[in-house]
Structure 1
Amino acid sequence: MNEAETGMPGDKDIERGSDEAFLTNSSVKSFSWSGLNVTVKDRQTKEARDLIHDISGDVRQGEMVALMGPSGCGKTTLLNVLARRPPTSGARTSGETYVNGANVESRYFRRMTSYVEQEDALIGSMTVHETLKFAADLSLPSSVSKRQRMERIRILLEAFGIQNQADTLVGTPIRKGISGGQKRRVSVASQLITCPKILFLDEPTSGLDSTASFEVISYVKELARANNPSTTTFRLFDKLLLLSAGRTCYFGPVSNVDGHFGDIGHPIPSNTNPAEYLLDIVSSDFSTSKEDAEDRVEKIQNAWKKSTEGENLGRQVSERLHAEGQVEQVAVDDLARPGVAKIITALLHRSWIKSYRDVVAYGIRIVMYMGLSIMMGTVWLRLHPSQDYIQPFINAIFFGSAFMSFMAVAYVPAFLEDRATFAKERANGLYGATPFIIANFLIGLPFLCKYHITRHIIQRIADSSPVLISILFSIVSYWLSNFQPTAEAFFTWVMWIFLDLVAAESLVVLVTSIFPNFVIALALVAFANGLWMSVGGFLVTPTILNPFWKYVFHYIDYQAYVFQGMMVNEFSKRIYSCGHGCQCMYNTDLASQCQIRGTGVLESYGYATGRTGKWVGILIGIIAVYRLFGWIALHLKKT
């Protein structure tokens, strides 16, 4: 699609039904921008290059503006600047945007605007109704009652013609959901739940056929159709901002387009789609003579700059600053957002639903860990308490802890999906990194409120949290391998597996927060786990480990504390026979009885008993540091 749109909904565009809270606040009368520039360093010439140059404009309440231009002309960059989003990496921006002639603080600006991105960042395991419900829960303050929220959702479902799909899943790779056109309508509807004063849409009908395009834009005053808008739809625009190479070719009422381009020697032929014609004359990409095309575009840009409308535009914006900025500031009393506690609760609720419905992200992980437990239990099947089996016991402990941790790489795609949703919602000003990190951490712990206990408890417990995985894995592998057969030892083992998994997933959160790329994140997490295995104490005991690796990495290795905790759990209270000939591998006080006290094994590794609490505390500290650094990465990384 060759258009991006921006507009200011008026009361007539939003009002539906009797819900008075659903009317837009009349405090926003205008949205203006002046002298916008975006500059980057050219990779080849190393010189400054303008992506956007000296763009000004003005929109009144109720008007819709079509932002058009050939591919690569700077439409999305300009739209991001107008919406106060980072335009592109390493870019420098200048210029100002004004609401009612006033330079509004960004935190208030984000609350009065909504941005519908080109890609539909929807959660496939949610229903259409749930998608709108959580959009309301994350954006509307407590002053909006439950009845009003439900009324807003009903109005939007009916307005976009998706009321019959309210209980249908959006759709996942293995579960069919709604169509592409319906997904686009859900995306737009979810951004309108707050009744935004200013609405930005980046190619809202991209990839849709003409019928689906018309359905999507009908509620927002028929903005544009996929590819080039038809003549009829084009005439429905209030204003047109035509760009080429980052510069204005025209800005003004659509009704004046014919006259302006006729005056500068480019009259629009009759029986021709005006949008298609305009895009052709301001594009140089497909012209037979690129130099002639570039010359033509430059003349069109200069003609606009010298035109009466072009010369008056800057003055009109300046006059508005003096006229409106002095008499009316933007009301912010109705721009409140839910508190942190409500946002965290909503995020937790949404994650619970996602966890028991998303078979790919969660169910497969359960099967994977269960398969690992069966494999481990049958490989190390019924080990005996004799010295011939001491090393297999140690090997099983290492495998159980290290490989469980390593398999946490399967959490990477699930967190990447959550992070993408967070990035979209954070960009729209709904919440920051703190609620996201807290909710993400709590969802993996035994968090059950009254609602979850009384409704669908079995399905909701069937989440792939470390608690469930730890218990299921241990029930199979622990007893098959014949570790110390006491309840205390079993639950201590479960505790170490649980902490191991929490630490491993916390490492995934940290790495993926810094590098939100599947291949890079997967490689780095795998490398880190390989490093922890090497210095954890099994492959090389801490007593002889190279000082560099010991003091730089061993003491911050969460797998090291898990391994030694499991070793103490198994060997501190167990006695092993020396076998025939009483040639004991470990010399302990029971050698005369042809037996080995398990503490002798621990001494060979340099492990002492009675330090379980200390090791647990250190492990919890490592988990906290991983989560803290993950929060810092998300807080600092704005895209």
Structure 2
Amino acid sequence: MSLSSTNDTDFREEEEKLLTESGKQNHPKCLEFRDIEATSIKKKGVRQEILKGVSGKAKAGELTFIMGSSGAGKTTLLNILTGRNLKKIERDGDILVNGTLITASEIKKISAYVQQDDIFIDKLTVKETLRFSAKLRSPKKLNDDEIDEIVEKLMKEMNLKKCENTLVGSISQKSLSRGERKRLAFACELLTDPQILFCDEPTSGLDSFMSHRVIKALKQLCSQGKTIICTIHQPSTSVFKMADSLILLAQGNIAYQGRAQDIGEFFEKCGYPVPRFVNSADHFMRVLSHGTEEDENVYKNRIDGIIAEYENSKEESTSHSSKREKNNDKVQMKFPRPWILQFLYIFHRSLVVLSRDKFEMIVKFTQIIAMAAVLGSIYFNISIQKSDLLSLKGFAFTTVQLMHLLFMFQTLPLFWKEYPVVIREYQSNMYSPSAYFLAKSMSDMIQYLIFPFIFCSILIWSTNLPRSFWPFFHYYSISLILSLLSTSLSRVVASIVGEISSAVNLLFTITIPFMVFGGFFISYDRIPFYLEPVAAISWHKYAYEGFLIGFMKDVGQIPGCNETSTVFRESCSTGIEFIRQLSFKEDNLWLDYTVLLTVVAILNIAGISAFVWRIRRS
């Protein structure tokens, strides 16, 4: 018999049977909340009361809807029950599971939370998404066969088998339907076999048919003894009838809490019977909502009357415990998998995503070829002779700048693109932010090994500069380090600022002063003493110096230095003399490498710290 046809008596009998079973690790959970209060702390210390001592219960094996008009507090209540998204919210009250007080960190161990927005990595298939979640979220480490078995079972239960090899897609790249994405979100959360499932607006954005299928899937989970609590906005009649219990919120108070099938009788007692041929849920929402032109006192009197009627009609609640759940309950994240496995799984996923983003790779490859071709045509056939020394300086310094510009601004949107996914997966207790940051950085590093090599090869063969091993090695190695440095800087700024457009502006603000003191626009012996500290930490200077030392250190007499030239008027003789004229030192090459690599390391440490801080406070 289908669950939708099971009557109220059957539910009670099933619940009692499930709750009395002993010896099972995952026995059903009855969730109760008592006197939940919540106050939002806004700017300048302004306080707004959201919930005013609300109490309710969600029974095992039942589907409970939390409904209310906009601003009634249903999302805040759900967040308090799940222990999430509670920044600047003061709260108090008791949360109990099977009659025992429980903290936010403890409830996360036995529950799962399906958010309203279905956020996934768009380049993975449905099956790959589930496999990744299974590897990181399962209570015990599973082998490949066990993972496949669990994933297959979930895809069948959630009716995802037909699209298992379909890419999840994104808003701009349609692939899965909204209903399939929603069922995939449920499947990801069910991998841990939670006994309590929280859902925020599970039917949002779905048509009535898909909404019915999604709620029907939840009803099937209820038949397994799971406790499911959903916030929902104006469900259709068929969806509303599938609810077992209902919690109505109005102005931060409970307007009704009880069996869903009894609410019509309750509203009729309040003087607001459901008209014929009208959706019951729509009628209840209209009664509880503030009309556009409705007088505030009229609305307040109506809501107060409904709340008073509910208070008079409800049964006496059980005695409250004197122990309160602390507002500052810190959630201690203990991930199922060790850090190294988190890193390896994320690294593998990042490589898969990188390999499938063919359009982005083609764009980058084309950009590298185009910029190298343009620069190669400008400095075509320059060589180490007196008439080309000024061009050589320009060639080296332009390379420094392009290694920044080509990779620094590319990294921002690509790195930040997965930020919402990381938040969701971190809150689902899948992995540490530090594991993600390092895995993502190292997987991206592969392309920054290849692209600088292509860039440097084109430029070297476009000129008559030395093509022997060591000059090219230094030219490529410093270019590679610069690409890593620029991408590391992008990740740091993005993690600190948290918004791309502001991050772009900040990157310009940081980069330009260091570029000015790179040694091309002003000689180092001309820099004012009060600006010397800025010049000393300019990585542009060390890269520029390293390029020129690599090309010029082993050059003896420079051709044309004994001749009169209108292009390069300063005296010159050897490669070392040329290096010294720029206030550089020929013995600083390995110092340049050390400084550049140190800057990369410092930026990555700062990036990890900023990223972890931002994810944990989100």
Q: TM-score range by the shorter chain?
A: 0.7 to 0.9
Q: Which residue of 2 aligns with 1:198?
A: 196
- State whether residues 510 and 630 of structure 1, in contact with CA within 8 Å, keep that contact through their aligned partners in structure 2: yes
CA contact (8 A) 2:201 2:231 kept: no
Identical positions, percent: 22
The question of whether the paired residues in 2 share the 8 Å contact of 1:406 and 1:529 is answered with no
Map 1:119-130 → 2, pairs under 5 A: 119-130=117-128
Rounded Cα–Cα distance in structure 2 between residues aligned with 1:225 and 1:58: 14
Take 1:111 and 1:293, find their aligned partners in 2: how far apart are those partners?
41
Counterpart pick for 2:579 among 602, 620, 624: 602
The one of 595, 600, 613 aligned to 1:623 = 600
- The separation in 2 between residues aligned to 1:52 and 1:471, in whole angstroms, is 60
- 1:528 Cα deviation after fit: 2.0
Structure 1 residue corresponding to 2:545, chosen from 564, 577, 599: 564
Given that residues 135 and 141 in structure 2 are in contact (C-alpha distance below 8 angstroms), is that contact kept between their aligned partners in structure 1? no
Could you list the per-position Cα deviations for residues 423-444 of structure 1 after superposition, in whole angstroms to 9, with x for gaps in the alignment?
1111112122221122122213
| Paired residue secondary structure (1:543) | helix
Report the counterpart of residue 525 of structure 2 in structure 1. 543
The AA in structure 2 aligned to 1:397 is A
Residues 548 and 184 (structure 1), Cα distance of their counterparts in 2 relative to 1, 3 Å cut: farther
Q: Deviations over 1:66-93 (max 9, x none)?
A: 1111123222222222111123x53323
Change (3 A) 1:413 1:175: same
User: How far is the alpha carbon of 1:545 from its aligned partner?
Assistant: 2.1
Superposed displacement of residue 163, structure 1: 1.0
Q: What is the alpha-carbon root mean square deviation over aligned residues?
A: 3.0
Look up the match of 1:133.
131
Q: Check if 1:75 corresponds to 2:77.
A: no
* Cα deviation, residue 285, structure 1: 4.3
Structure 2 CA distance for aligned equivalents of residues 556 and 34 of structure 1: 58
SS in 2 for 1:443: helix
Please give the alpha-carbon distance, in whole angstroms, between the structure 2 residues aligned to 1:260 and 1:234.
Answer: 16
Rate the CA distance shift 1:226–1:26 in 2: closer, same or farther, 3 A.
closer
User: Taking structure 1 as the reference length, what is the TM-score of the superposition?
Assistant: 0.84
Q: Name the amino acid aligned to 1:511.
A: V
1:91 to 89, 92, 111: 89
1:613 paired with 2:587, answer no
Q: Deviation digits for residues 469-494 of structure 1, max 9, x if unmatched?
A: 11111111222133322111112211
Runs (5+) with no aligned partner, structure 1: 1-8, 14-23, 326-334, 447-464, 589-595
1:396 corresponds to 2:395: yes
Q: How many residues align?
A: 578
1:143 to 1:42, Cα distance in 2 relative to 1, 3 A: closer
Q: Is the 8 A contact 1:578 1:585 kept in 2?
A: no
**Equivalent-residue separation in structure 2 for 1:554 and 1:53 (angstroms):** 59
Deviation sequence 1:356-384 (CA, Å, 0-9, x none): 11235444223222221121111111112
1:548 and 1:85 map into 2 onto residues whose CA distance is 49
Per mean C-alpha deviation after superposition, the further-off stretch among 216-225 and 480-489 is 216-225
Match of 2:91, SS?
Answer: strand
Which letter maps to 2:119?
A
| Structure 1 CA distance for aligned equivalents of residues 68 and 420 of structure 2 | 28
1:273-352 mapped onto 2 (5 Å cutoff)? 273-309=279-315, 312-313=316-317, 315=318, 318=321, 337-352=336-351
User: What letter corresponds to residue 421 of structure 2 in structure 1?
Assistant: T
CA contact (8 A) 1:470 1:498 kept: yes
Structure 2 partner of 1:51: 50
Task: State the partner residue of 1:450.
Answer: none
Secondary structure in 1 matching 2:524? coil
Distance 1:231 1:571, change over 3 A: same
1:425–1:431 contact (8 Å) kept in structure 2: yes
CA contact (8 A) 2:215 2:239 kept: no
Aligned-pair CA distance for 1:353: 0.7
Q: Distance in 1 between matches of 2:464 and 2:93?
A: 71
In structure 2, the partner of 1:425 is 425
Q: How big is the shift at 1:97?
A: 2.6
What are the ranges of 5 or more consecutive residues in structure 2 without an aligned counterpart?
Answer: 1-10, 16-23, 221-227, 326-333
In 2, are the aligned partners of 1:207 and 1:226 still within 8 Å (CA)? no
- The answer to whether the 8 Å contact 2:83/2:105 transfers is no
Deviations 1:79-120 (A, max 9, x none): 222111123x53323334333344445444333322211112
Q: Cα 1:429–1:597, aligned 2, differ >3 Å: closer, same or farther?
A: same
> Matched residues in 2 for 1:140 and 1:42: separation?
39
Q: 1:574 to 1:173 in 2, by over 3 A?
A: farther
Q: Hey, what does 1:255 align to over in structure 2? A: 261
2-side partners of 1:535 and 1:28: how far apart? 67
Report matched runs for 1:407-486 at 5 Å.
407=406, 408-446=408-446, 465-486=447-468
- Output the CA distance in 1 between the equivalents of 2:513 and 2:301: 59
3-state DSSP class of the match of 2:192?
A: coil
Partner residue of 1:454? Answer: none
Could you say what secondary structure the match of 1:193 adopts?
helix
The 1:61/1:25 distance shift into structure 2, 3 A limit, reads farther
Which SS does the other structure have where 2:504 is aligned?
helix
Structure 1 residue 521, shift from structure 2 partner: 1.7
2-structure distance, mates of 1:475, 1:524? 32
SS at match of 2:602: helix
Helix, strand or coil at the partner of 2:418? helix
CA distance in 2, matches of 1:622, 1:107: 38
Question: Equivalent residue for 1:237?
Answer: 243
Q: Report if the CA contact (8 A) 1:213-1:226 is conserved.
A: no
Give the conservation status (yes or no) of the 8 Å contact 1:140–1:336: no
Q: Name the CA shift for 1:60/1:608 in 2 (closer, same or farther; >3 Å).
A: same
Deviation string 1:587-616 (CA, Å, 9 cap, x unpaired) is 45xxxxxxx312222212221123333322
After superposition, the Cα gap between the structure-2 partners of 1:626 and 1:99, relative to the gap in structure 1 and judged at 3 Å, is farther
Counterpart-to-counterpart distance in 2, 1:152 and 1:402: 51
Secondary structure in structure 2 of the residue aligned to 1:119: coil
CA distance in 2, matches of 1:42, 1:176: 38
- DSSP-derived class of the 1:62 partner: coil
| Cα distance, 1:586–1:599 mapped onto 2, change above 3 Å | farther
**Corresponding residue number in structure 1 for 2:473:** 491
Q: Give the letter aligned to residue 286 of structure 1.
A: T
Once structures 1 and 2 are overlaid, which stretch shifts more, 215-224 or 386-395? 215-224
How far apart, in 1, do the equivalents of 2:563 and 2:595 lie? 43
Q: Which residue of 2 aligns with 1:5?
A: none
Which has the higher mean CA deviation after the structures are superposed, 136-145 or 393-402?
136-145
Tell me the distance in 2 between the aligned counterparts of 1:34 and 1:395. Answer: 72
Matching residue's letter, 2:295: S
- Does the Cα contact within 8 Å between 1:214 and 1:225 map onto a contact in 2? no
- Report the Cα distance in structure 1 between the residues aligned to 2:335 and 2:489, rounded to whole angstroms: 35
Whether the 8 Å contact between 1:118 and 1:202 is mirrored in structure 2 is yes
**Could you tell me the TM-score, scaled by structure 2's length?**
0.86
After TM superposition, give the deviation of residue 125 of structure 1 in Å.
0.9
CA contact (8 A) 1:586 1:601 kept: no
Find the counterpart in structure 2 of residue 369 from structure 1: 368
Distance 1:172 1:344, change over 3 A: same
Specify the SS of the correspondent of 2:33.
strand
What is the CA–CA distance in structure 1 between the aligned matches of 2:291 and 2:410, rounded to whole Å?
Answer: 44
